[in-house]
A and B are shown apart, each in its own frame.
Chain A
Amino acid sequence: MSADPDSLRQMAAMMATGAPQAAALGFHLVSVEPGKGSIAAPWREDLVGDPETGVIAGGVVTTLLDHTCGLAIVSNSTQRMPTATLDLRIDYMRAAKPRAGVTAEAHCYKVTRTIAFVRAQAWDDDPSDPIATAQAAFVLVGAPA
């Protein structure tokens, strides 16, 4: 575990916005603690999936969930080894509200020597009323075989 919350937050802020795709989507860090992370994606006209309703595209939610899962894993491990998504399952409870941004929170609840298991959810304005939940497995790329 990272003992220093400031360095954890600094690393997390870099990770939340560092990747070109994360920057292109306007991601920003909401919170981080060991094994948990939260990232928000603002609504934007060019990210709309259904122009009739103005609802943000599912693809943005997929990328946000994947990215937030990665943050939760990195914040959980002592060695900052790179991760790669093995599989990602997303269930959509409902559509996001028109012109609403999306926030995701992920919890890395188990790490073995090679695999990290993560649950996540996304919401527009109320965490207790999620638009989507996710379950994912990641392989720790630098891990010993």
Chain B
Amino acid sequence: MSEAADRLEAFLHRVPYVRFLGMRAELAGDEMTATLPFSEHLVGNVMLPALHGGVLGAFLEMTALAQLAVAQKTTRAPKTIDLTIDYLRPGRAVTTYARADLRKVGRRIANIHVEAWQEARASPVASLRGHFLLATED
């Protein structure tokens, strides 16, 4: 396994909340795809049924952090500064996927865009834009 794949595995195993969500992620070269299999406990609206909006937001944020873990050599966790989440379609009771785009990784701050989709990549269910404070080596 590559070093990047090792860092991704370490991130996914280290964070208890990732296991709570049931989130997974795979690397194809340097491209990471995160997967959130549907599970009953992720539902926010039982009538539709639909994933909780907070779950979609959380999955997008964790995808950004996973992509940072792949790119960064440090194991210390970056801190979220701000997030803007746009909801485009209801998150249906099926598997959700997400990919993150590191728009800018500076010395201290990263700007990351993430998009989540279900059946079709061209029909995203939600997107996120966020700033993250990078852990500096002491």
Interface flag for B124 (CB, 8 Å): no
Q: Which residues of B contact A63 (CB under 8 A)?
A: 52-55, 57-58
Q: Given A63-B58, A91-B82, A92-B80, are A50 and B53 neighbors across the interface (CB < 8 Å)?
A: no
Question: Interface on chain B toward A: helix, strand, loop, or mixed SS?
Answer: mixed
Subset of 15 A-B contacts with CB under 8 Å: A20-B41, A21-B51, A23-B41, A24-B41, A48-B16, A52-B76, A58-B80, A59-B17, A63-B52, A63-B54, A89-B84, A91-B81, A92-B79, A92-B82, A95-B79
> Which of A21, A49, A84, A87 is close to B15, meaning CB atoms less than 8 Å apart?
A49
The CA-CA distance from A51 to B41 in the complex, in Å, is: 23
**Contact-size category for A:** 35 or more
Q: By the criterion CB–CB under 8 Å, are B82 and A89 in contact?
A: yes
A residues 19-38 in Cβ contact with B at 8 Å: 19-24
Surface stretch bound by B, among A1-9, A64-72, A106-114: A64-72
- Interface set of B (CB-CB < 8 Å, partner A): 14-17, 19-21, 40-47, 51-55, 57-59, 61-62, 76-77, 79-87, 90
> Which of A21, A60, A91, A92 is close to B41, meaning CB atoms less than 8 Å apart?
A21
Q: Given A87-B87, A90-B82, are A20 and B40 neighbors across the interface (CB < 8 Å)?
A: yes
Q: Which residues of A contact B57 (CB under 8 A)?
A: 59, 62-63, 66, 88
Interface flag for A127 (CB, 8 Å): no
Q: Which residues of A contact B14 (CB under 8 A)?
A: 51
Q: Which residues of A contact B80 (CB under 8 A)?
A: 58, 90, 92
Q: By the criterion CB–CB under 8 Å, are B16 and A67 in contact?
A: no
Interface flag for A11 (CB, 8 Å): no
Q: Which residue of B lies closest to A85 (CB)?
A: B53
Q: By the criterion CB–CB under 8 Å, are B17 and A67 in contact?
A: no
Q: Which residues of A contact B47 (CB under 8 A)?
A: 82
